[in-house]
Chains A and B, each alone.
Chain A
Amino acid sequence: MTNAAATRPPVTRSGVASALMPGLGQILLGQKYRGGGILIGFLIMLGTVAWYKDPAWYFSPAVIWLWNIFDAVSLAGGKARSILLPLAAGLLAAYGIGWQVVGIDFGKADLDRAAAILRPMANPDFIQTRREKNEMWVNIQVPCSSEPPLARREDAGRVAMVIPDCGTVGETLIVSASGMWPDTDTEVLWRTPIGDPKMVGEGESQMLVARSDESGVVTTAVRVPTTALVAAPDPTLAQFHRVYFYQYRPLGGIELSYVGGEVVKGALATVSMALLATGLAMLFAIPLSFLAAHNLMSGNPLTYAVYVIVRTLFNILRSIESLIIAIVFVVIVGLGPFAGMLALAVHSVAALGKLYSEVIEGIDQGPIEALRASGANWLQTVRYAVIPQIVPPFTAFTIYRWDINVRSATIIGFVGGGGIGFLLVELIRVNNMRGVSAAFIAIAVVVIVLDYFSAKLRERLV
């Protein structure tokens, strides 16, 4: 014991000190870090429990406090105690509070809802059998004017008509079309004057399908959709809506579905957005990386200042997630892949610049010395001793960055950065789970393929 001048025995003294303030006993015994750690741990635990206001968790700081007294007393006797017990008490409380804060509740899981989402996902909307379309429509006035025109239209030997000639919301009409393909399922769809499709099947949430007879006549009853006039500027004003008839028949073979086509376009946009961003970033990163290379810039105070500034800039930009930068660019240049591309480029300049500068810092000075010794001029030395050393790793890092950027571009699409991420959000919003599934698959395929080839390519370069 160093504090031999203490009036009370050190065992009691340190115990009392630690009881008054956790860790104090240990500090008095010369264990500054142990005591400080105990005090900080105790305060954090006490603060957490106090903030959460559930008295049951006070057991945790209590255990730490009791253990701390025990440890101080024991330490005075020359023996430190294992910190396992207070650590376990702290972790238990942290996890318990965390569990309650997060609101983990497996009872909330709804298997029916999960099934409703997952079932269509098992059948991604990517390709479909090739088919031809037979489309026919007729105008119908809603609501009725004083003298509604005849709801009848002839086109290419086909006739479509509605009885009566006009209707009001909720009224049932008889629609029919003749000269259509015989014995074929026919989709019947309502379109408002601005072209908005309204399904008129069960509950207005399903497609109404009627079958044509052997002479090519389709007849069915249609209720004017309840939402037919929601977008109308004046619901009392008579306007022409349309009833559409669609027939399809297979042509043999398969083709991309509409959503499938959009998914392919989105994936291409994402890959090229990443490619452009990486290329643009490379252009800026190469010159900047030389300014951020310690071995080149530490020569005099001025260049060293430039080095520090560029390095700091890189570190700041790198620490901002490209997703955040994307939100800023969406505000500046609007929604779309351009905003996403700029965000990726800004982030990549910093990331690539740092990697490049580390390559430059790591080059072997030997060949440079050898070529100078042989009478080569400065440019020749750079061409034959520096460039061969930096080009392969630069290329490898650039490809790797492209790979990363494709992944980031997908996520950036979520905040309006365009590409497949944007499409995915749209599909989720309209609950098109078959489309969502197709987009998921496309993302996975793009990422896996790119990952594979970038790894192969880099292997050859390094």
Chain B
Amino acid sequence: MLRIQNVSKTYPNGTQALKNVSFDVKDGEFLVVIGLSGSGKSTLLRCINRLIDPTEGQIFLDDVDITAAPPAKLRQIRRKIGMVFQQFNLVKRSSVMTNVLSGRLGYVNPWTSLIGLWSADEKKRAIEALGRVGIADKAGARADALSGGQQQRVGIARALMQEPNLILADEPVASLDPVLSHSILQYLEQLNKEGITVICSLHFLDLVHRYATRVVALKDGIKVFEGSAQEIDRARFKEIYGEEAQEVRAASV
């Protein structure tokens, strides 16, 4: 469904975050992107929904060139791509309900949304989305009153409001403890089994082994590996993470 073709990104300060990266993502995959901090994982994910514009290369979603989409078209493409963030990126002062509803902004009438009016239909959808991640009872709470794990579940519910075909998860569990990490990734796995393609960047290799159907590894912006998680042996690991690296394991469930 997604084809990434020779994508490069050079920031204005000269940093080359991505160098000629190409790979395909098939429908229904749980693709995990690994690599050291600064290897270009976040940049890659943000190029897919063009939060960051790639300097070179093209990205096709179902044969539509995202990189060439004009603003209105881009918003249409974006609303089918959900995104989950390391820092959750919720509006902390707003209620959980408002945060989840805001995932729907791409679909609703822009003018009624500006005065904060939401149809009963959208509200029902929001409660359902919260129900799918098990926190329907928290709808009225302020976002910052929730624990980290709960906030990330609100983040997933917000992405679900977009009725996405694809979810981009940028280190969704890096701010959470290992037990919570599994719980969040299981929600993503569940959504994946329901047919949503997931592209997720992760740090812990055991999580990669547990959840990934396929792995892409980046090092200094270059794709250094593409294949199944099982293929990552000691040698590959050292190649991706450097000679000094020691594998750290997240606690298992």
Contacts and interface: CB of A to CB of B under 8 A. Distances in A.
Contact of B94 (A372, A374, A388): A388
B91 A373 contact: no
A383 B115 CA distance: 9
A389 B93 contact: yes
Contacts of A389: 91-93
B207 to A, nearest CB: 23
Nearest to B105: A376
Contacts of B87: 366
Contact of A370 (B79, B104, B116, B158): B158
Given A376-B105, A377-B110, A383-B113, A367 B81 contact: no
B98 A374 contact: no
A380 interface: yes
Contacts of B204: none
B106 interface: yes
Interface string B96-129: 0010001111110010011010000000000000
Interface string A363-379: 01011011111111101
B235 interface: no
A189 interface: no
B184 to A, nearest CB: 16
Contact of B103 (A369, A374, A379, A388): A374
A377 B106 CA distance: 7
Given A374-B79, A388-B94, A389-B91, 17 more contacts: A364-B91, A366-B90, A369-B51, A372-B78, A373-B51, A373-B78, A373-B81, A374-B102, A374-B103, A374-B158, A375-B77, A375-B79, A375-B106, A376-B105, A383-B113, A383-B114, A384-B98
B221 to A, nearest CB: 21
A371 B114 contact: no
Interface string B62-95: 0000000000000111110111010111111110
Given A384-B98, A384-B102, A377 B83 contact: no
B83 A370 contact: yes
A366 B90 CA distance: 7
A379 B114 contact: yes
Contact of A374 (B93, B106, B114): B106
B162 interface: yes
Contacts of B104: 374
Contacts of B77: 375
B105 A366 contact: no
A364 B114 contact: no
Interface in A376-431: 376-377, 379-380, 383-385, 388-389, 392
26 contacts: A364-B91, A366-B88, A367-B91, A370-B90, A371-B105, A373-B49, A373-B78, A373-B81, A374-B78, A374-B103, A374-B158, A374-B159, A375-B75, A375-B106, A376-B75, A376-B105, A376-B106, A377-B105, A379-B114, A380-B114, A383-B113, A383-B114, A384-B94, A385-B102, A388-B94, A389-B91
A330 B93 CA distance: 44
Interface residues of B, number: 36
A431 B31 CA distance: 86
B106 A384 contact: no
B76 A375 contact: yes
Interface of B: 49, 51, 75-79, 81-83, 85, 87-94, 98, 102-107, 110, 113-114, 116, 155, 158-159, 161-162, 168
A298 to B, nearest CB: 13
Q: Which 4 A-B pairs have the closest CB atoms?
A: A375-B106, A375-B79, A366-B89, A376-B105
Interface residues on A, range: 20 to 34
A369 B151 CA distance: 16
Nearest to B93: A388
Contacts of B85: 366, 369-370
A371 to B, nearest CB: 6
Contacts of A377: 75, 105, 110
Given A369-B51, A374-B83, A384 B91 contact: yes
A367 B78 contact: no
A370 B93 contact: no
B99 to A, nearest CB: 8
Contacts of B79: 374-375
B96 to A, nearest CB: 13
B201 to A, nearest CB: 15
A375 B110 contact: no
A374 B104 CA distance: 8
B100 to A, nearest CB: 11
A122 B105 CA distance: 65
B110 A380 contact: yes
B83 A373 contact: yes
Interface string A275-298: 000000000000000000000000
Nearest to B106: A375
Contacts of A373: 49, 51, 78, 81, 83, 168
Interface string A344-372: 00000000000000000000101101111
